[in-house]
């Protein structure tokens, strides 16, 4: 069991630090996303409200790309309905229905220029060391709005 609140990082494996960084990113998003009167969050893709436990931190650029894994323009709270189920529906020219709708939403939200910048950023080669994960954990845990990278 991982203690996500620990600040004793020295004995933790890199894989544990990565899980902690992912956890704190999701917590940051949950804490900084407006909820309606029923404590629900609006999915920007489905344009419907869902309970927080039905929202996932979804990456437009795959989370295996470290240059954008913790980049706030790339990660959004998206409903499980879209992130899990619509991701299984194939759409020609896209990886899935989810990816098509995510791209459309991001182009609208960010604008074409920032969207292209996100794609360019995803081409950067980035390798995380232990200190990088710790920096991300601390920034998101402390509620920093600055992009960690």
Q: What does each of the 149 residues of the chain score in pLDDT, given as a tens digit?
A: 999 999 999 999 999 999 999 999 999 999 999 999 999 999 999 999 999 999 999 999 999 999 999 999 999 999 999 999 999 999 999 999 999 999 999 999 999 999 999 999 999 999 999 999 999 999 999 987 665 55
pLDDT value at residue 145? 65
Note whether 59 and 74 are within 8 A (CB).
Answer: yes
State the pLDDT at residue 144.
74
Positive or negative: CA dihedral 60, 64, 67, 70: positive
| Predicted pLDDT of residue 147 | 54
pLDDT of the residue at 80: 96
Q: What angle do CA 76, 113, 85 make, to 5 degrees?
A: 30
């Amino acid at each position: 069991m991982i203690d996500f609140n620990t600040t004793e990082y020295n004995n933790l494996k890199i894989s544990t630090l990565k899980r902690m960084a992912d956890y704190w990113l999701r917590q940051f998003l949950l804490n900084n996303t407006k909820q309606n009167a029923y404590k629900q969050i609006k999915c920007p893709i489905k344009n419907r409200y869902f309970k927080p436990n039905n929202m996932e931190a979804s990456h437009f650029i795959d989370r295996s790309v470290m240059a954008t894994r913790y980049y706030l323009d790339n990660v959004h709270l998206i409903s499980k309905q879209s992130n899990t189920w619509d991701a299984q529906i194939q759409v020609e020219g896209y990886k899935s229905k989810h990816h098509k709708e995510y791209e459309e939403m991001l182009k609208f939200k960010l604008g074409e220029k920032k969207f292209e910048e996100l794609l360019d950023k995803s081409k950067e080669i980035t390798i995380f060391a232990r200190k990088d994960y710790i920096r991300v954990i601390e920034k998101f845990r402390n509620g920093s709005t600055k992009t960690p990278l």
